[in-house]
Every structure is written in structure tokens, then in C-alpha cells.
């Protein structure tokens, strides 16, 4: 098996306006590791309802807490215009599918809950979003700043801060999953 046939396809299912954010919902197809070698995600193509010309990934992605995090770049369609826009995407690093819980605090209440979910366009079931559109133009890989750790008031979170091609800066509060900090172990040898 070679090429795309050996990979599981994930897709962008919908884009929605939620409050002051534009967000993306992606598929969460399971990867059959007996027949597949990984996953891929195509961005919406010309002629489809969600298409924006030339969307691509130009920065190396980061793996954080089992998630793959990357900004996309969509250049302006006008040759005389500077800039464009970006999406900040967060997907399951192993499957490429959407996460089981929202990475973004869509209602800005400081908590990550069902209020941060949107309806899957095919089933109507509430699901996590996988991407958030930039409000400050094209953004590079964000700087990550630790927020409230597990066990403190509010949900565990971090902030991803990006400067944009418009000259603005935005900070996005995001949930964290998994363990944080240094992990250690000690080998016990039976004598």
C-alpha cells in the first residue's frame, strides 16, 4: 500500500460562527492501524462551500498533550493586498480527528464545558471544534504560556499568543489534556 491509500482521511465538515469566533468542525474517523499507516487532512478545495484559495501549513506543527497544534496560512486573493488569514488547528495527534473535548473556550467563561461545543453538521450531536480562525491576519506558530494548572479554580488551561500580519496580537485560552511537567520513574529491582 502506498500514498494516500495507506492513510485515513480526515475532513473539514463545517465552519460556524460562535459568539465572536469562527470555528471549524472536523471528522473523527478511526484509523485502522492494521491497514493504515497514518492520517491526512485536506483543506477545503476550490469549488467547495468552505474553500479559501491556497490554504496551507508553513510552520512545523507542535505536539502538546497528545494533540497536534498548527496554524494554517491563507494568502489574500488580491495580488495588491498584503496579508491574509490563518486558522489555529488542534487535532488528535494519533488519529488526526477532532478531540473528545473542546480545546477552545468559545463562550469565554473560563471553563471548558458543553457550552464550548457545536453541533456536528451530519448528526446534530454536540462535538468539539478543531480550529479557530485568526482575528489578526496571518499568524505564525503561537507562543504558549501556562495558565491555571489542574486543581486550581477554573479549568486547566494555557494561552496561545500570536502576533498577526494586521499588527494585532491575540491570546486564545485553550484546555490542556494529559500530564504536565516533568515525569519520572524509578526502576525497582527484585533481589
Local confidence band at 154 (pLDDT 50, 70, 90 cut-offs)? low
Q: What is the pLDDT of residue 59?
A: 93
> Is 50 contained in some domain?
yes
Judge contact between 175 and 155, C-beta under 8 A.
yes
At 135, the pLDDT band (50, 70, 90 cuts) reads: very high
Cell numbers for 12, please give them.
473539514
Q: Which of 38-47, 49-58, 101-110 has the lowest mean pLDDT?
A: 49-58
Asked whether the predicted pLDDT for residue 53 surpasses 90, the reply is no
Residue 151: per-residue pLDDT? 52
pLDDT at 149 over 90: no
In the chain, what percentage of residues exceed pLDDT 90? Answer: 44
> Cell triple for residue 35?
491497514
With respect to residue 36, please indicate whether it lies within any of the assigned structural domains. Answer: yes
For residue 148, the model assigns a pLDDT of 65
**Using 50, 70 and 90 to split pLDDT, how confident is the model at 153?**
low
Q: Is residue 46 part of a domain?
A: yes
Domain coverage including residue 12: 3-135
Residue 9 lies in a domain: yes
In a domain, 24, yes or no: yes
Model confidence over 5-42: pLDDT tens digits? 999 999 999 888 888 889 999 999 999 999 999 999 99
What are the tens digits of pLDDT across the range 60-112?
999 988 999 999 999 887 777 778 899 999 999 999 999 998 898 888 887 88
Is residue 169 in a domain?
A: no
Burial of 30 from C-beta contacts in 10 A (0-12 / 13-18 / 19+): exposed
The reported pLDDT for the residue numbered 109 is 80
Residue 54 lies in a domain: yes
Q: How many separate domains does the chain show?
A: 1
| Any domain includes 158 | no
Mean of the per-residue pLDDT values of the chain? 84
Nearest-angstrom CA–CA distance, 148 and 158: 7
Mind spelling out the 3-state secondary structure of the chain?
CCHHHHEEEECEEEEEEECCEEEEEECCCCCCCCCCCEEEECCCCCCCCCCCCCCECCCCCEEECCEEEEECEEECCCCCCCCEECEEEEEECCCCCCCCCCCECCCCCCCCCHHHCEECCCCCCEECCCEEECCCCCCCCCEEEECCCCCCCCCCEEEEEEECCCCCEEEEEEECCCCCCCCCCCCCCCC
More confident position, 178 or 11: 11
Amino acid at each position: 500500500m502506498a500514498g494516500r491509500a495507506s492513510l485515513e482521511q480526515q475532513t473539514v465538515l463545517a465552519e460556524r460562527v460562535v459568539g465572536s469566533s469562527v470555528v471549524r468542525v472536523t471528522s473523527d474517523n478511526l484509523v485502522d492501524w492494521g491497514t493504515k499507516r497514518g492520517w491526512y487532512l485536506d483543506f477545503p478545495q476550490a469549488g467547495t462551500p468552505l474553500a479559501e484559495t491556497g490554504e496551507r501549513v508553513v510552520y512545523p506543527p507542535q505536539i502538546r498533550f497528545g494533540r497536534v497544534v498548527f496554524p494554517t496560512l491563507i494568502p489574500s486573493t488580491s495580488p495588491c493586498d498584503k496579508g491574509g488569514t490563518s486558522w489555529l488547528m488542534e487535532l488528535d495527534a494519533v488519529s488526526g480527528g477532532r478531540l473528545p473535548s473542546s480545546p477552545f473556550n468559545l463562550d469565554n467563561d473560563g471553563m471548558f464545558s458543553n457550552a464550548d461545543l457545536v453541533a456536528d453538521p451530519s448528526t446534530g450531536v454536540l462535538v468539539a471544534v478543531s480550529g479557530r480562525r485568526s482575528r489578526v491576519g496571518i499568524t505564525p506558530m503561537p507562543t504558549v504560556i501556562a495558565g491555571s494548572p489542574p486543581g486550581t479554580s477554573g479549568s486547566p488551561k494555557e494561552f496561545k499568543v500570536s502576533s498577526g500580519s494586521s499588527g494585532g496580537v491575540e491570546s486564545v485560552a485553550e484546555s490542556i489534556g494529559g500530564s504536565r511537567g516533568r515525569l519520572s520513574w524509578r526502576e525497582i529491582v527484585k533481589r
